[in-house]
A and B are shown apart, each in its own frame.
Chain A
Amino acid sequence: MERPLTEHIRKDLRPLTLKEYEQAGGYQSVRKALKGMTPKDIQSVVKDSNLRGRGGAGFLTGLKWSFVPMDSTIETKYLIVNADEMEPGTFKDRLLLESAPHQLIEGMIVSAFAIQATISFVFLRWAYKEAANHIRFAIQEAYDAGYLGNDILGSGFNLEMHLHTGVGRYICGEETALLSSLEGKRATPRAKPPFPQVSGLFGKPTIVNNVETLCCIPHIVNKGADWFQKLSLTNDAGTKLFGVSGKVKTPGLWELPMGITMRELLEEYAGGMQDGLKFRGALPGGASTDFLVEEHLDVKMDYVSIAAAGSRLGTGTMIVLDDKTSVVGFVRNLMHFFAQESCGFCTPCREGIPWIEKILTSLEAGKGEGHDLHLLDFHTKYLGPGNTFCALAPGAMEPLQSALKYFRKDFEHYIAEEIQNTTHPLPATRKRLITDISKF
């Protein structure tokens, strides 16, 4: 089984020096691209490879790049790698950042060349201290070796690279909020259009891609689109870093072909559930994906199959729910996160998620009211796609709506007894709200 992204990662996770990386075949794609290919050639091979963004949304990378104006009169364009990894349950980019910094830099150089960007940033979350040290060191090595700076390898192509470490907040990972943050502003998302490809950082054309996405680029350029497609067991190309956390025997992270099943991941790699526990469900790709349950265990882990099963591949890092963990507590923990990390810009998200958290907390405390489940249902619609400014709120609703669907009894359990001695009548405003659900 080929594992291009992780094959050069040492057992002790110490990153390769530039020399060691070159000896292992590193930076070949930079030579190949800058000396023998046009930006258009690279864009085509990436498009043909069918690579989809690994940051969560799964957007086709080649297509995204194709919106960048290639008119030579534009002086400044930016390439940014999104290394803000903060989606709860996600720990995949950390490995590539800490243990393979040169692979990322190589991917960034080739990608920047493909869109003719001359300035690049690594937007790294503050908590990844070791990654910051390794990347800082690797960038310096790359400058010293002439892979960065002016006239790279005598090709006439110039590229600056800077490391920006963040100062917290999940919303910085949303690509337009990331741009606001890099400009020294509050990290509120921006209206689209204009899309960042046309007007991004400081108003200039900008591409933002995930770490894992850009790490695929050198391999695609070296070995071709067909090879990349064939790494996968299904139509969604490539390998993928898959992770499992929760009460399984051996939680971990593995590079595997796209399209392995949830069951294989859970049983062969994560070792199955801990003794005495049963699998109840899992968020397949981080906190903002819908629960999948036992009946889905044979679903293939790729963008199309997971979507067909009613969830999203997201970041590919699965969080497992076992039968002794409270579903309501699980969802309440997630809602606490989303409520805290809402940027506060739009009302449904800013006010709605804390409301949900309050309802769940009161359910757990035995203070649920008869209409609480209706209110929760209402929120999953009211905060759904199209009603908020960015994807944080709809993402937050995914685990909630699917928990209400698959584990409704767990929620009702808290209310059933209570409802009998409930004397509060439903306030008129709430009644109206609930009847209005059908509109959304």
Chain B
Amino acid sequence: MLSLEETHEIDEAVKIVPYRKAACIEALKIVQEHRRWISDESLREIADYLQMSAEELDSVATFYNMIHRRPVGRHVILLCDSISCWVMGYENIRTEIMQRLGIKYGQTTADNRFTLLPNPCLGTCDHAPALMIDNDLYRDVTKDLLEDILGKYP
């Protein structure tokens, strides 16, 4: 069941738009904020609340890469793989992260600490290579900095 907090926040989003289901992306974001990912159950709960079908909502949810339809770890690493980062050698950073954590793109470490995802351009190309962990942006990343960066996320 959606929590009181969740429904409150969704109600606020619904106020801004002309009909309920127009707030569905906001609702997905709100629930993901509380539960970290959108399970089939969460999907049905949101759909019911917004008076739309779960299938229709899933067609929206699966379109957007920042809606997680699979569980993610406590922290999500988003590694920029676009052109300026590629020119500046992000591939070394990718190899290093994968080796350190023993995971590939789309996977989560066994201790559920990190999920690693590739991400298109993070918009900080004069400081490539770049990555984000949760809400934090890291720029001019080098292999040597990774130990410290990852260490901040228990």
Q: Which residues of A contact B (CB under 8 A)?
A: 85-91, 93-94, 125-130, 162, 164-170, 181, 183-187, 202, 243-247, 251-253, 287, 317, 319-322, 325, 329-330, 333-334, 336-337, 340-341, 343
Contacts and interface: CB of A to CB of B under 8 A. Distances in A.
Interface stretch (B64-72, B105-113, B143-151): B64-72
Contact of B87 (A128, A186, A243, A330): A330
Contacts of A320: 87
Contact of B66 (A88, A90, A168, A287): A168
Contacts of A167: 25, 28-29, 64-67
A170 B128 contact: no
A251 B83 contact: no
Contacts of A86: 120-121, 123
A251 B127 contact: yes
Interface in B46-94: 59-60, 63-67, 78, 81-84, 86-88
Contact of A246 (B59, B87, B120, B123): B87
A246 B84 contact: yes
B84 A127 contact: no
Interface in B129-152: 132, 135-137
Contacts of A251: 125-128
B2 interface: no
Nearest to A203: B18
B1 interface: no
A252 B126 contact: yes
Contacts of A130: 137
B135 A129 contact: yes
B101 interface: no
Nearest to A87: B121
B103 to A, nearest CB: 20
A168 B65 contact: yes
Given A91-B126, A186-B63, A319 B121 contact: no
A168 B118 CA distance: 12
A245 B123 contact: no
B29 to A, nearest CB: 6
Contacts of B83: 88-89, 287, 319, 330, 333-334, 337
Contacts of A252: 126
Contacts of B123: 85-86, 90-91, 93-94, 125, 127-128
A185 B60 contact: yes
A169 B64 contact: yes
A406 B98 CA distance: 36
Contacts of A337: 82-83, 120-121
Contact of A162 (B16, B29, B60): B16
Nearest to A248: B126
Interface in B6-47: 16-18, 21-26, 28-29
A325 B65 CA distance: 30
30 contacts: A85-B123, A87-B121, A88-B120, A88-B121, A88-B125, A89-B84, A90-B123, A127-B119, A127-B122, A128-B123, A162-B16, A166-B64, A167-B28, A167-B67, A168-B66, A168-B67, A184-B26, A185-B60, A202-B17, A245-B87, A246-B84, A251-B125, A319-B87, A322-B87, A330-B83, A333-B86, A334-B83, A337-B82, A337-B121, A343-B63
Contact of A94 (B24, B120, B124, B135): B124
Nearest to A183: B22
Nearest to A170: B120
A128 B136 CA distance: 10
Contacts of B88: 246-247
A125 B65 CA distance: 12
B60 A186 contact: yes
Nearest to A252: B126
B65 to A, nearest CB: 4
Nearest to B60: A186
Nearest to A131: B123
A341 B22 CA distance: 23
Contact of B84 (A88, A126, A162, A336): A88
A403 to B, nearest CB: 12
Interface-centre pick from A88, A162, A169, A181 (highest chain B CB count, 10 A): A88
A89, A319, A330 pick with most chain B CB within 10 angstroms: A89
A292 to B, nearest CB: 16
Give the 8 A-B residue pairs with the shortest CB-CB distance, closest first.
A245-B125, A251-B126, A168-B66, A168-B65, A167-B64, A88-B82, A245-B84, A88-B121
A251 B125 CA distance: 8
B25 A184 contact: yes
A251 B86 CA distance: 15
A137 to B, nearest CB: 16
Given A245-B84, A319-B84, A319-B87, 8 more contacts: A90-B125, A127-B78, A127-B119, A169-B65, A181-B25, A186-B59, A337-B82, A337-B121
